[in-house]
Amino acid sequence: MKVLQVSAEIFPLLKTGGLADIAGALPAALNTAGCDVRVLLPGFAPILADLQSASVVAELTAPWGERVQLRHGTLGTLGVQAYVIDAPHLYVRPGTPYEDEQRQPHHDNHLRFALLGWVAAQLACGLDAHWQPAVVHSHDWHAALTSAYLAFGPARGRRVASVFTVHNLAYQGVFAPIHFYDLGLPAHAFSVNGVEFHGQFSFMKAGLYYADHITTVSPTYAHEIQTPEQGCGLDGLLRARGHDLTGILNAVDEAVWNPATDAAIPHTFDAQNPAGKARCKAALQQELGLDVKADAPLFGVVSRLTEQKGLHLVLAVLDQLLARGGQLVVLGNGDAALEAAFKARAVANPQAVSVRIGYDEAYAHRIFAASDVTLVPSRFEPCGLTQMYGLKYGSLPLVHRVGGLADTVVDCALEHLADGTANGFVFNVFTPLALERAMYRALALYARPTEWLGVRQRAMRQALGWDKAAAQYVALYRHLVV
Ligand code: ADP
Ligand code: GLC
């Protein structure tokens, strides 16, 4: 089955968060499951630079007059066939894919990402005579107009199924209504039964409204987004589409995240031979100027520093952790106030707290390898990947019971220790006190090395690979194309 995946990011070429990890892993996982996958990406500089044996598929004029080229080739680092929209005036500029250097959204984001959806719809409708997908699968608001363009596009030949995956409902791509009229969609689509959202024009709503099927990245989040608390204003639509909404849990790309083969960590290890983990911990403590103590419980955070991630709770309980001999290592960037608050704690406690503001892929691997506990106290979390990376690297996750965190982490309560399902620490209420209690449970288990090592070994052996999720996507595609 031919499947076109459409996303704004792809690991390892361009990544601002977990979306890229998934977009990078899914093509290979689906190909292994028998699909024939190609990806469509905007021509950001690192993506264009990686495209090999490229040829021009078409010269196109977008509905608003923009002239662009569509190239096809192979992404060298991934070995994946890709279509890339070559439009340097739109995609090659300073800043992130979404924001300029002042952290403001690029002024023409509506055009930059409408183009992605529009080109996806052209490919779905047979633009490339040599390859037409049966399914077009778009990810997050950046690619969400795909299904709207498909719904109103020329109904040529075979009908192509559209799947839209919500990675995070909180980022919606909402624009002033004036921008809608540039994009070549029919005027009647700007309605409550369409792309209109409180008088604005919403990419996310377009994806939710027009896609044949909606998926999101964990079963629990699929339920949560149908509630007013977590629906970000779209819960009514999501409830109405409840029969076309499935939660498919993300997985771990074991070619990238495997402590037995990871070239980014100083000592490799696995569940059977864990000695390298203790060496990774000592090496990181040394590197960071922390007290080099094998028995100091080392807590790690690798995260965007945003409201979503609940890290102010960590600041609130940090003194109690330090008073019990714990250490904290943080890698992240985002909100200036959170960055400053964590920095200040590191300055005040240099032997026990290290904070690095920035983005560093290899350092993230070293933190998972070295730490005993991975903290993910998110307020909400569609899936979350770092708790799963923690499991793989024997850094037991401590999480708030929400979204994908609830689907992947089982608390070390006695009954779960007894039945062998425990793999981390879970708190139910989003308060410092609840996090503090979970932290004490972690410290209590850590003080019993035999039990700790048993839980850690089981966590590292857990099956977290892509085969299950890939099979679920393939079953969904099959269901949609018959
Ligand atoms: P989200 O996509 O909401 O940020 P996820 O847990 O799904 O959360 O994915 C985050 C991804 O980004 C993981 O691969 C994590 O290791 C990575 N990451 C987050 N912050 C950093 C950072 N500062 N440096 C390196 N990697 C980071
Ligand atoms: C989003 C979510 C995160 C999820 C990731 C990949 O960024 O915030 O929870 O793991 O997408 O699906």
- Name the band, by pLDDT with cuts 50, 70 and 90, for residue 155: low
Which atom of ligand 2 is the closest one to the Cα of 167?
11
CA atoms of 95 and 373, how far apart (whole Å): 33
Going from the Cα of 187 to the center of ligand 2, the distance in angstroms, rounded, reads 33
| Mean predicted confidence (pLDDT) in 257-266 | 98
| Mean predicted confidence (pLDDT) in 244-263 | 98
CA atoms of 142 and 122, how far apart (whole Å): 16
Q: Which amino acid is at 49?
A: A
The confidence score (pLDDT) of residue 482 equals 79
Tell me the Ramachandran region of residue 360: left when phi exceeds 0, alpha when psi lies from -120 to 50, beta otherwise. Answer: beta
Which atom of ligand 2 is the closest one to the Cα of 403?
9
166 pLDDT more than 60: yes
Nearest ligand, measured from the Cα of 215: 2
Same domain? 233 vs 304: no
Same domain? 330 vs 212: no
Same domain? 451 vs 474: no
Instruction: Find the helix or strand (DSSP H, E) in which 283 lies.
Output: helix 275-288
CA atoms of 92 and 106, how far apart (whole Å): 12
Query: CA nearest 4: which of 145, 100, 93, 131?
Result: 131
Residue in 7, 15, 21 to alter for ligand 1 test, most ligand atoms within 8 A of Cβ: 21
What residues make up the domain containing 453? Answer: 275-460
- For 388, phi then psi, to 5°, come to -75, -35
Would you say residue 256 lies in a domain? Answer: no
Same domain? 454 vs 327: yes
CA atoms of 134 and 478, how far apart (whole Å): 10
Going from the Cα of 18 to the center of ligand 1, the distance in angstroms, rounded, reads 6
| Mean predicted confidence (pLDDT) in 318-340 | 97
CA atoms of 204 and 206, how far apart (whole Å): 5
Which atom of ligand 2 is the closest one to the Cα of 17?
7
Would you say residue 328 lies in a domain? Answer: yes
Sign of CA dihedral 133, 135, 136, 138: negative
The confidence score (pLDDT) of residue 158 equals 67
CATH number for the domain harbouring residue 299: 3.40.50.2000
The model's pLDDT over 414-460, given as tens digits with 9 standing for 90+, comes to 999 999 999 999 999 999 999 999 999 999 999 999 999 999 999 99
Q: What percent of the chain has pLDDT over 70?
A: 99
Query: CA nearest 145: which of 95, 109, 199?
Result: 109
The confidence score (pLDDT) of residue 157 equals 57
Same domain? 473 vs 456: no
Going from the Cα of 381 to the center of ligand 2, the distance in angstroms, rounded, reads 7
How many structural domains is the chain composed of? 2
| Mean predicted confidence (pLDDT) in 64-82 | 97
Please give the structure tokens belonging to residue 425: 């620490």
Q: Which residue has the tokens 């085969």?
A: 467
Which one-letter DSSP state was computed for residue 284?
A: H
Would you say residue 262 lies in a domain? Answer: no
Same domain? 352 vs 231: no
Please give the structure tokens belonging to residue 82: 């890709």
154 pLDDT more than 80: no
Would you say residue 75 lies in a domain? Answer: yes
Nearest ligand, measured from the Cα of 169: 2
Give 379-395 as a 3 state SS string: CCCCCCCHHHHHHHCCC
Same domain? 121 vs 157: yes
Please give the structure tokens belonging to residue 236: 């009514």
Would you say residue 365 lies in a domain? Answer: yes
CA dihedral 369, 379, 225, 195 (to 10 degrees): -100
The confidence score (pLDDT) of residue 159 equals 81
Distances (CA, A) of 270 to 276, 284, 393: 8, 18, 8
Going from the Cα of 265 to the center of ligand 2, the distance in angstroms, rounded, reads 24
Please give the structure tokens belonging to residue 212: 């044949």
The confidence score (pLDDT) of residue 36 equals 98
Would you say residue 424 lies in a domain? Answer: yes
- Name the band, by pLDDT with cuts 50, 70 and 90, for residue 58: very high
Would you say residue 269 lies in a domain? Answer: no
Which atom of ligand 1 is the closest one to the Cα of 304?
20
CA atoms of 101 and 205, how far apart (whole Å): 28
| Mean predicted confidence (pLDDT) in 406-417 | 97
Same domain? 456 vs 475: no
Which atom of ligand 1 is the closest one to the Cα of 250?
7
Going from the Cα of 166 to the center of ligand 2, the distance in angstroms, rounded, reads 9
The confidence score (pLDDT) of residue 473 equals 98
299 pLDDT more than 90: yes
Same domain? 322 vs 279: yes
Same domain? 438 vs 473: no
Name every residue whose Cβ is closer than 8 Å to that of residue 44 and which is 6 or more positions away in sequence: 13, 14, 91, 92, 97
Would you say residue 432 lies in a domain? Answer: yes
**In 364-407, beta strands by DSSP E:** 373-376, 396-400
Same domain? 440 vs 473: no
Distances (CA, A) of 464 to 37, 203, 350, 396, 452: 22, 32, 35, 14, 20
Mean model confidence pLDDT for the chain? 97
The confidence score (pLDDT) of residue 153 equals 81
CA atoms of 435 and 315, how far apart (whole Å): 11
Same domain? 60 vs 105: yes
Please give the structure tokens belonging to residue 413: 């309560």
